[in-house]
Amino acid sequence: MSKRIEAYELVHLVGGGSRRYQVLLQPGSDFSFTHGKIAHDDVIGLEEGDTVTSSLGERLIVLRPTMSEYIAKMKKGSQIVYPKDIAAILMLADIFPGARVLEAGTGSGALTIALLRAVGDTGVVISYERRPEFQAIAEQNIERFFRDVKCAGGSGKLILKTGDVYESVEEREVDRVILDLPEPWRALRSVEQALRPGGIMLCYNPTVLQIYKLTKRIERKYGHCLRVTGVYEVGMREWEIKGRSMRPQHRAIVHTGFIFVARKIYNGDER
Protein backbone atom coordinates (compact mmCIF):
# COMPACT_ATOMS: atom_id res chain seq x y z
CA MET A 1 0.00 0.00 0.00
CA SER A 2 1.32 3.42 -0.94
CA LYS A 3 2.26 5.72 1.94
CA ARG A 4 1.06 8.65 -0.10
CA ILE A 5 -2.61 9.49 -0.45
CA GLU A 6 -3.92 8.75 -3.94
CA ALA A 7 -6.71 10.12 -6.11
CA TYR A 8 -10.12 8.41 -5.71
CA GLU A 9 -9.17 7.25 -2.22
CA LEU A 10 -11.49 7.59 0.78
CA VAL A 11 -9.85 9.57 3.59
CA HIS A 12 -10.77 11.18 6.88
CA LEU A 13 -9.85 14.78 7.62
CA VAL A 14 -9.52 15.04 11.39
CA GLY A 15 -9.87 18.32 13.27
CA GLY A 16 -9.94 19.24 16.94
CA GLY A 17 -12.18 17.44 19.38
CA SER A 18 -14.34 14.79 17.70
CA ARG A 19 -14.60 16.54 14.32
CA ARG A 20 -13.96 14.09 11.49
CA TYR A 21 -14.91 14.50 7.83
CA GLN A 22 -15.04 11.65 5.30
CA VAL A 23 -13.98 12.66 1.79
CA LEU A 24 -13.64 10.71 -1.46
CA LEU A 25 -10.77 12.45 -3.23
CA GLN A 26 -11.44 13.51 -6.81
CA PRO A 27 -8.97 15.68 -8.75
CA GLY A 28 -10.27 19.18 -9.35
CA SER A 29 -12.89 19.02 -6.58
CA ASP A 30 -13.14 20.91 -3.29
CA PHE A 31 -14.33 20.01 0.20
CA SER A 32 -16.25 22.80 1.93
CA PHE A 33 -17.09 22.90 5.63
CA THR A 34 -17.76 25.52 8.33
CA HIS A 35 -14.05 26.34 8.65
CA GLY A 36 -13.34 26.98 5.00
CA LYS A 37 -12.52 25.04 1.87
CA ILE A 38 -9.88 22.41 1.04
CA ALA A 39 -8.93 21.45 -2.51
CA HIS A 40 -8.77 17.70 -3.04
CA ASP A 41 -5.60 18.28 -5.06
CA ASP A 42 -3.94 19.65 -1.89
CA VAL A 43 -4.58 16.32 -0.16
CA ILE A 44 -3.64 14.00 -3.03
CA GLY A 45 0.06 13.19 -2.79
CA LEU A 46 0.38 13.86 0.95
CA GLU A 47 1.61 11.12 3.25
CA GLU A 48 -0.86 9.65 5.72
CA GLY A 49 -0.61 11.68 8.94
CA ASP A 50 0.28 14.94 7.17
CA THR A 51 -1.81 18.07 7.76
CA VAL A 52 -3.68 20.25 5.29
CA THR A 53 -4.83 23.84 5.90
CA SER A 54 -8.24 25.16 4.84
CA SER A 55 -8.86 28.52 3.21
CA LEU A 56 -9.75 29.93 6.66
CA GLY A 57 -6.64 28.56 8.37
CA GLU A 58 -8.08 25.39 9.93
CA ARG A 59 -5.49 22.59 10.10
CA LEU A 60 -6.74 19.02 9.58
CA ILE A 61 -4.85 15.73 9.81
CA VAL A 62 -5.19 13.40 6.79
CA LEU A 63 -5.74 9.74 7.72
CA ARG A 64 -7.03 6.61 6.06
CA PRO A 65 -10.12 5.40 7.97
CA THR A 66 -9.99 2.22 10.01
CA MET A 67 -12.77 -0.31 9.51
CA SER A 68 -14.43 0.89 12.72
CA GLU A 69 -14.31 4.52 11.57
CA TYR A 70 -15.64 3.64 8.13
CA ILE A 71 -18.56 1.70 9.64
CA ALA A 72 -19.46 4.65 11.89
CA LYS A 73 -19.91 6.96 8.88
CA MET A 74 -21.25 4.62 6.19
CA LYS A 75 -24.87 4.75 5.01
CA LYS A 76 -27.23 2.76 7.22
CA GLY A 77 -30.50 1.13 6.30
CA SER A 78 -30.85 -0.69 9.61
CA GLN A 79 -29.23 -0.64 13.03
CA ILE A 80 -25.66 -1.95 12.74
CA VAL A 81 -23.68 -4.20 15.05
CA TYR A 82 -21.37 -2.03 17.17
CA PRO A 83 -17.64 -2.34 16.44
CA LYS A 84 -16.98 -3.48 20.02
CA ASP A 85 -19.39 -6.38 19.47
CA ILE A 86 -17.99 -7.13 16.00
CA ALA A 87 -14.55 -7.60 17.56
CA ALA A 88 -15.95 -10.09 20.09
CA ILE A 89 -18.00 -11.89 17.44
CA LEU A 90 -14.93 -12.51 15.27
CA MET A 91 -13.12 -14.02 18.24
CA LEU A 92 -15.98 -16.00 19.83
CA ALA A 93 -17.07 -17.42 16.46
CA ASP A 94 -13.41 -18.17 15.67
CA ILE A 95 -13.58 -16.72 12.15
CA PHE A 96 -10.46 -17.91 10.34
CA PRO A 97 -8.87 -17.42 6.89
CA GLY A 98 -10.52 -19.76 4.40
CA ALA A 99 -13.71 -20.24 6.43
CA ARG A 100 -17.12 -20.71 4.82
CA VAL A 101 -19.48 -18.46 6.78
CA LEU A 102 -23.26 -18.22 6.46
CA GLU A 103 -24.67 -14.93 7.76
CA ALA A 104 -28.28 -13.74 8.24
CA GLY A 105 -29.29 -10.95 7.99
CA THR A 106 -27.00 -8.68 6.09
CA GLY A 107 -28.53 -5.43 7.37
CA SER A 108 -26.31 -2.48 6.42
CA GLY A 109 -23.27 -4.72 5.95
CA ALA A 110 -21.13 -3.74 8.96
CA LEU A 111 -20.60 -7.27 10.26
CA THR A 112 -20.39 -8.60 6.68
CA ILE A 113 -17.41 -6.31 6.02
CA ALA A 114 -15.61 -7.64 9.09
CA LEU A 115 -16.38 -11.26 8.18
CA LEU A 116 -15.12 -10.80 4.61
CA ARG A 117 -11.82 -9.39 5.82
CA ALA A 118 -11.43 -12.12 8.45
CA VAL A 119 -12.02 -15.06 6.07
CA GLY A 120 -9.35 -13.71 3.71
CA ASP A 121 -8.90 -14.25 0.00
CA THR A 122 -9.67 -17.98 0.19
CA GLY A 123 -12.82 -17.73 2.31
CA VAL A 124 -16.45 -17.09 1.43
CA VAL A 125 -19.32 -15.30 3.17
CA ILE A 126 -22.87 -16.21 2.12
CA SER A 127 -25.18 -13.52 3.47
CA TYR A 128 -28.98 -13.74 3.52
CA GLU A 129 -31.26 -10.70 3.75
CA ARG A 130 -35.05 -10.64 3.39
CA ARG A 131 -35.29 -6.91 2.56
CA PRO A 132 -33.95 -5.98 -0.88
CA GLU A 133 -33.65 -2.30 0.06
CA PHE A 134 -31.28 -3.13 2.94
CA GLN A 135 -29.34 -5.55 0.74
CA ALA A 136 -28.75 -2.79 -1.83
CA ILE A 137 -27.37 -0.45 0.85
CA ALA A 138 -25.14 -3.20 2.25
CA GLU A 139 -23.77 -4.05 -1.18
CA GLN A 140 -22.82 -0.40 -1.76
CA ASN A 141 -21.16 -0.12 1.67
CA ILE A 142 -19.16 -3.32 1.20
CA GLU A 143 -18.05 -2.47 -2.33
CA ARG A 144 -16.99 1.04 -1.34
CA PHE A 145 -14.95 -0.17 1.65
CA PHE A 146 -12.86 -2.70 -0.25
CA ARG A 147 -12.54 -0.46 -3.33
CA ASP A 148 -11.94 3.02 -1.89
CA VAL A 149 -10.30 2.39 1.51
CA LYS A 150 -6.68 1.58 0.68
CA CYS A 151 -6.03 -0.03 4.09
CA ALA A 152 -9.12 -2.27 3.88
CA GLY A 153 -7.06 -5.39 3.23
CA GLY A 154 -8.10 -8.45 1.27
CA SER A 155 -11.66 -9.63 0.91
CA GLY A 156 -13.16 -13.08 0.77
CA LYS A 157 -15.76 -14.04 -1.81
CA LEU A 158 -19.18 -12.54 -1.11
CA ILE A 159 -22.46 -14.21 -2.08
CA LEU A 160 -25.52 -12.06 -1.33
CA LYS A 161 -28.87 -13.84 -1.28
CA THR A 162 -32.38 -12.51 -0.92
CA GLY A 163 -34.10 -15.11 1.20
CA ASP A 164 -35.51 -16.17 4.55
CA VAL A 165 -33.37 -18.52 6.64
CA TYR A 166 -36.41 -19.20 8.81
CA GLU A 167 -37.69 -21.24 5.86
CA SER A 168 -34.56 -22.96 4.50
CA VAL A 169 -31.02 -22.50 3.19
CA GLU A 170 -29.24 -24.20 0.32
CA GLU A 171 -25.79 -24.39 1.91
CA ARG A 172 -24.33 -27.45 3.61
CA GLU A 173 -21.13 -28.11 5.56
CA VAL A 174 -20.41 -24.45 6.36
CA ASP A 175 -17.88 -23.72 9.11
CA ARG A 176 -19.78 -20.93 10.87
CA VAL A 177 -23.32 -19.57 11.05
CA ILE A 178 -23.81 -15.98 12.26
CA LEU A 179 -27.40 -14.91 12.99
CA ASP A 180 -28.46 -11.30 13.54
CA LEU A 181 -32.20 -12.00 13.50
CA PRO A 182 -35.12 -11.06 15.78
CA GLU A 183 -36.21 -14.72 16.20
CA PRO A 184 -33.11 -16.90 15.84
CA TRP A 185 -34.88 -19.95 17.31
CA ARG A 186 -36.92 -20.11 14.11
CA ALA A 187 -33.70 -20.62 12.10
CA LEU A 188 -32.40 -23.60 14.09
CA ARG A 189 -33.61 -26.14 11.53
CA SER A 190 -31.63 -24.33 8.83
CA VAL A 191 -28.61 -24.15 11.14
CA GLU A 192 -28.79 -27.90 11.81
CA GLN A 193 -28.80 -28.61 8.08
CA ALA A 194 -26.12 -26.10 7.07
CA LEU A 195 -23.51 -26.32 9.84
CA ARG A 196 -20.82 -28.97 9.77
CA PRO A 197 -20.07 -31.07 12.89
CA GLY A 198 -17.82 -29.03 15.16
CA GLY A 199 -18.93 -25.79 13.51
CA ILE A 200 -20.01 -22.75 15.49
CA MET A 201 -23.35 -20.95 15.56
CA LEU A 202 -23.33 -17.41 16.94
CA CYS A 203 -26.44 -15.28 17.50
CA TYR A 204 -26.52 -11.56 18.25
CA ASN A 205 -29.65 -10.20 19.98
CA PRO A 206 -30.42 -7.11 22.06
CA THR A 207 -32.81 -8.57 24.68
CA VAL A 208 -32.48 -11.28 27.28
CA LEU A 209 -35.92 -12.65 26.35
CA GLN A 210 -34.67 -13.50 22.86
CA ILE A 211 -31.70 -15.36 24.33
CA TYR A 212 -33.98 -17.17 26.80
CA LYS A 213 -36.33 -18.34 24.03
CA LEU A 214 -33.37 -19.47 21.93
CA THR A 215 -31.89 -21.45 24.82
CA LYS A 216 -35.19 -23.16 25.63
CA ARG A 217 -35.82 -24.10 21.99
CA ILE A 218 -32.39 -25.72 21.82
CA GLU A 219 -33.05 -27.60 25.06
CA ARG A 220 -36.42 -28.92 23.84
CA LYS A 221 -35.71 -29.74 20.20
CA TYR A 222 -32.05 -29.34 19.25
CA GLY A 223 -30.07 -30.58 22.24
CA HIS A 224 -29.01 -33.60 20.18
CA CYS A 225 -27.09 -31.44 17.71
CA LEU A 226 -26.26 -28.09 19.38
CA ARG A 227 -24.26 -27.58 22.58
CA VAL A 228 -24.44 -24.08 24.13
CA THR A 229 -20.94 -22.86 25.02
CA GLY A 230 -21.61 -19.33 26.31
CA VAL A 231 -23.64 -16.14 26.48
CA TYR A 232 -21.78 -12.83 26.64
CA GLU A 233 -22.18 -9.07 26.57
CA VAL A 234 -19.40 -6.58 25.94
CA GLY A 235 -19.00 -3.14 27.51
CA MET A 236 -16.52 -0.42 26.60
CA ARG A 237 -15.62 2.87 28.28
CA GLU A 238 -13.07 5.39 27.12
CA TRP A 239 -10.63 7.16 29.44
CA GLU A 240 -9.50 10.75 29.15
CA ILE A 241 -5.96 11.98 29.77
CA LYS A 242 -5.39 15.72 30.18
CA GLY A 243 -2.15 16.95 31.65
CA ARG A 244 -1.67 15.15 34.97
CA SER A 245 -5.33 14.08 35.14
CA MET A 246 -6.60 10.67 34.03
CA ARG A 247 -10.26 9.75 34.46
CA PRO A 248 -12.96 7.63 32.81
CA GLN A 249 -15.41 9.28 30.44
CA HIS A 250 -18.82 9.99 31.98
CA ARG A 251 -20.55 8.09 29.16
CA ALA A 252 -19.87 4.47 28.24
CA ILE A 253 -21.16 1.97 25.70
CA VAL A 254 -22.41 -0.78 27.99
CA HIS A 255 -25.19 -3.08 26.81
CA THR A 256 -25.84 -3.19 23.07
CA GLY A 257 -26.51 -6.88 22.56
CA PHE A 258 -26.01 -10.43 23.80
CA ILE A 259 -23.68 -12.79 21.98
CA PHE A 260 -24.90 -16.40 22.14
CA VAL A 261 -22.53 -19.19 21.06
CA ALA A 262 -23.21 -22.90 20.41
CA ARG A 263 -21.39 -25.74 18.61
CA LYS A 264 -22.73 -28.43 16.33
CA ILE A 265 -22.47 -31.91 17.85
CA TYR A 266 -24.00 -35.34 17.38
CA ASN A 267 -25.12 -37.65 20.16
CA GLY A 268 -23.87 -41.21 20.31
CA ASP A 269 -26.91 -42.81 18.62
CA GLU A 270 -26.71 -40.54 15.58
CA ARG A 271 -23.00 -41.11 15.11
In a domain, 269, yes or no: no
> Does any domain span residue 168?
yes
The per-residue pLDDT for range 244-260, each reduced to its tens digit, is: 999 999 888 899 999 99
Give the span between the Cα atoms of 183 and 162, in whole angstroms: 18
pLDDT at residue 267, rounded to an integer = 55
pLDDT band at 135 (very low <50, low <70, confident <90, very high): very high
Share of the chain above pLDDT 90, in %: 91
Q: What pLDDT digit, counting tens, does each position of 55-79 carry?
A: 999 999 999 999 999 999 999 988 8
Q: Is residue 204 a contact partner of residue 257, using CB atoms and an 8 Å limit?
A: yes
Task: Summarize pLDDT for 98-129 with one digit per residue, the tens.
Answer: 999 999 999 999 999 999 999 999 999 999 99
Q: Does the residue 159 lie in any domain?
A: yes
Give 13-45 pLDDT, tens digit per residue.
999 877 899 999 999 999 999 999 999 999 999
Q: Which domain holds residue 254?
A: 70-264
Considering the domain architecture, whether residues 132 and 42 belong to the same structural domain is answered as no
Whether 255 and 128 map to the same domain: the answer is yes
Any domain includes 167: yes
Eight-class DSSP state of 188: H
pTM of the model: 0.94
- What pLDDT, on the 0 to 100 scale, is given for residue 268? 45
Position 18 scores a pLDDT of: 76
> Residue range 83-107: average pLDDT?
97
Question: What pLDDT is stored for residue 271 in this prediction?
Answer: 45
For residues 48 and 126, give the distance between their C-alpha atoms in angstroms, rounded to a whole number: 34
pLDDT of res. 261: 98
Task: Residue 31: give its domain's CATH number.
Answer: 3.10.330.20
Q: So what's the pLDDT on residue 75?
A: 93
List own/partner pairs for 91-99 with CB under 8 A and 24 or more apart: 92/202, 92/230, 92/232, 92/259, 92/261, 93/176, 93/178, 93/200, 93/202, 93/261, 94/176, 94/200, 95/119, 95/176, 96/123, 96/175, 97/121, 97/122, 97/123, 98/122, 98/123, 99/123, 99/175, 99/176
Give tens-digit pLDDT for 140-196: 999 999 999 999 999 999 999 999 999 999 999 999 999 999 999 999 999 999 999
- Assign 3-class secondary structure to 224-241: CCEEEEEEEECCECCEEE
pLDDT at residue number 17 = 77
Does residue 207 sit in the same domain as residue 113?
Answer: yes
Residue 200's DSSP bridge partners are 176, 263
Q: Is residue 122 part of a domain?
A: yes
